[in-house]
Structure formats: structure tokens, C-alpha cells
């Protein structure tokens, strides 16, 4: 007596058309993206020479502002006044616009001194972070 085995119909209905469409779209995307990248490199330009320019080997220095609980600002080991801090941050923003500023404050410092330093960083668009320590 012969046994009839019925095959499933799921493999018969599997369509490869969507898969082929997706692969074709990816191929077109990469061909077009490569074409635009080649166009950008093929533009001939006479770039100016910078006689004093040197390659950036290390990260730019960051400015660290320490605020004592008395409200004194210390920048690079020197105690400075609020107007002098304004000048230092203005000059830092002029020299290196992306220069990072770390503000370290004592936990007992009056908030107005901390906010003054933060507002100066915001005024000159310097990225900053604050740490309050004991």
C-alpha cells in the first residue's frame, strides 16, 4: 500500500519579487552615492597656503574655572575678578570658538557666582560643564 505525502503550499507561494526589488534599489542607491562622492573630489580648486598652520595633533586645551566658596574665580591657577573672567572667556571664544570650559564650584559657593560663569559661557557660545564639589 502506497503512502501519499502531501507537500506544503508555503514554498510555492513565496515570491522573490520584493527581495529582488529591494536589492535593485540598494544597488541604485550605492551607485548614485558613489557618483556624487566622485564629483565632489573631482572639482579642481587652488587652495590657499597657510604658512603658520600646523596639523592638530592633540585636543585643544580646555579652560577650567574653579570657584571657591568665597566667590573667587581661579583660572589657570590665578585668582581673577569677574570682569577679568569676562575678558578671558571672550578671548577664548575669539581664539578657539569650540573651546570647552569646565566650571568647578565648591558646594557652598553662592549661586550667583556659578550662574555668572555659566552665563558668560552661554554669551560667548562656549560649550561648558559644571561640577559642584566639596
Nearest of 96, 103, 95 to residue 128 by alpha carbon: 103
For 22, counting Cβ atoms within 10 Å of its Cβ (0-12 exposed, 13-18 middle, 19+ buried), the class is exposed
Would 23 be classed as within a structural domain?
A: yes
Pick from 57, 56, 77, 51: nearest CA to 66: 77
8 Å CB contact between 87 and 63: no
- Domain extent for 27: 17-42
- Asked if residue 99 belongs to a domain, the reply is yes
Of residues 77 and 44, the one with the higher pLDDT is 77
The residue-averaged pLDDT of 59-82 equals 86
Q: Are residues 36 and 73 located together in one domain of the fold?
A: no
Cell matching residue 43: 572639482
**79 & 22 share domain:** no
Residues 38 and 67 both lie in one domain: no
Please tell me whether residues 37 and 79 are part of one structural domain: no
- In degrees and rounded to multiples of 5, residue 120 shows phi and psi of -65, -40
Q: Which tens digit of pLDDT belongs to each residue from 73-111?
A: 999 888 999 999 999 999 988 888 778 888 888 888 888
The CATH code of the domain that includes 108 is: 3.30.420.270
The count of domains in the chain is 2
Q: Give the helix ranges, DSSP H, for the chain.
A: 10-13, 17-42, 82-95, 111-123
Cβ contact 82:44 at 8 Å: no
Q: Are 103 and 67 spatial neighbours (Cβ–Cβ below 8 Å)?
A: yes
Residue 134 pLDDT greater than 60, yes or no: no
Amino acid at each position: 500500500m502506497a503512502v501519499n505525502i502531501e507537500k506544503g503550499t508555503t514554498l510555492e507561494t513565496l515570491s522573490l519579487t520584493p527581495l529582488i526589488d529591494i536589492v535593485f534599489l540598494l544597488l541604485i542607491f550605492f551607485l548614485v552615492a558613489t557618483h556624487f562622492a566622485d564629483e565632489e573630489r573631482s572639482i579642481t580648486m587652488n587652495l590657499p597656503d597657510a604658512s603658520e598652520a600646523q596639523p592638530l595633533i592633540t585636543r585643544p586645551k580646555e579652560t577650567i574655572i574653579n570657584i571657591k566658596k568665597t566667590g573667587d574665580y581661579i583660572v589657570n591657577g590665578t585668582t581673577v575678578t569677574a570682569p577679568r573672567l569676562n575678558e578671558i572667556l571672550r578671548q577664548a571664544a575669539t581664539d578657539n570658538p569650540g573651546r570647552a570650559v569646565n566650571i568647578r564650584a565648591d558646594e557652598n559657593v553662592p549661586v550667583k557666582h556659578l550662574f555668572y560663569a555659566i552665563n558668560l559661557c552661554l554669551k560667548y557660545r562656549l560649550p561648558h560643564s559644571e561640577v559642584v564639589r566639596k
